[in-house]
Amino acid sequence: MMAPSWPYPFWVAHRGAGKMAPENTLAAFRLGAAHGYRMFECDAKLSADGSVFLLHDATLERTTSGQGLAGQLSWAELSQLDAGSWHSRQYAGEPPCSLAALARFCLASGYALNIEIKPSPGSERQTGQTVAAQAERMWAQAHTPPLLSSFQPESLAGALHSAPSLPRALLLDTWWDGWLQTATALQCCAIVANHRLLDADTMSAVRRAGLRCLSYTVNELEQASALQALGIDGIITDRIDLFSPAAPLALANGAP
Ligand code: G3P
Ligand code: MG
């Protein structure tokens, strides 16, 4: 049996705008929206004082002007960092983005959001609990709730505990033993699988379990075509310049 209602668009812009803008910043979500995207993926973790903000890595060096473990700084400290210069001069001074700011951006225009819970090591359950509780408050009046996903079952358990009504998805980079029992126990409505994991047999197994299926990070036309033939429910892509969300597999700007 398939999960009954699925309110999300097919195309999801990874980290806002893929690689075209500094990932997980408001500038990126604005660029993704300008390319026609109506749903975004972001990576959320906790500051030392319990604010939810967006960053992929556990450490600050790759995508900000800061150093060390991101989870050891307060939001007041994190918000002073430059999260744009690493990408290009055009984005110099772009600040890190809080979940609250991204919620305001999405809610103002009716954009959907996939919040990947990306805990700093050791804070898996706490991050899931806090992200879900804050998201539930921020989206309280919204028609479409954010989809919470994580590679970490403990984070999804925290989310289930603090905001059971928010939809959850288990992220899978491999088919590890017990993934299906885990997704079922965590009352997930979907999995989000690495595209390399999906074929007719594995998709059948996902469908038999009554789960929706999304795939990441799909950047090639051939991959997207194959996934669409399998009946995938959504694609997370960096290539906002290649794929147009207007219709599945329509190419942007007549790209070859
Ligand atoms: O949520 C899909 C995808 O973002 C998971 O991998 O490492 O890009 O966060 P990663
Ligand atoms: Mg992610």
Q: Using one digit for the tens of pLDDT, what is the confidence trace for 83-124? A: 999 999 999 999 999 999 999 999 999 999 999 999 999 999
The secondary structure element, H or E, covering residue 126 is helix 124-138
Strands (E) located in the chain: 11-13, 39-46, 52-54, 112-117, 147-150, 168-172, 190-194, 212-216, 234-237, 243-244, 250-251
Domain assignment of residue 197, yes or no: yes
Pocket test for ligand 1, best of 171, 195, 219 (most atoms within 8 A of CB): 171
Domain assignment of residue 238, yes or no: yes
> For residue 69, what is the DSSP state?
B
Cα–Cα distance for residue pair 193/205, rounded to 1 Å = 13
Domain assignment of residue 1, yes or no: no
Domain assignment of residue 189, yes or no: yes
Domain assignment of residue 71, yes or no: no
41 CA closest ligand 1 atom index:
1
181 CA to middle of ligand 1, Å?
22
Q: Which two tokens stand for residue 177?
A: 């033993």
**Pairing of the two strands 52-54 and 39-46:** antiparallel
How many domains in the chain?
Answer: 1
Domain assignment of residue 221, yes or no: yes
In this model, does residue 2 exceed pLDDT 60? no
Q: Which domain holds residue 243?
A: 11-21+31-48+112-254
149 CA closest ligand 1 atom index:
1
56 is catalytic: yes
| Residue in the block written with tokens 């194959």 | 226
14 is catalytic: yes
C-alpha of 134 from chain center: 16
Least confident of 1-15, 36-50, 162-176, 234-248: 1-15
pLDDT tens per residue, range 169-184: 999 999 999 999 999 9
Could you tell me if 171 and 116 are in contact, meaning their C-beta atoms sit under 8 angstroms apart? yes
Catalytic site residue from 14, 35, 87, 195? 14
19 CA to middle of ligand 2, Å?
13
User: Which residues have C-beta within 8 Å of that of residue 5, sequence separation ≥ 6?
Assistant: none
Could you tell me if 194 and 179 are in contact, meaning their C-beta atoms sit under 8 angstroms apart? no
Residue whose CA is at the smallest distance from ligand 1 atom 1: 116
Domain assignment of residue 44, yes or no: yes
**pLDDT interval class at 5 (50, 70, 90):** confident
Could you tell me if 161 and 185 are in contact, meaning their C-beta atoms sit under 8 angstroms apart? no
Domain assignment of residue 38, yes or no: yes
Grouping H, G, I as helix, E, B as strand and the rest as coil, residue 225 is: helix
43 CA to middle of ligand 1, Å?
8
157: amino acid identity, one letter: A
pTM: 0.96
Mark the residues whose beta carbon lies below 5 A from ion ligand 2: 43, 116
CATH of the domain at 17: 3.20.20.190
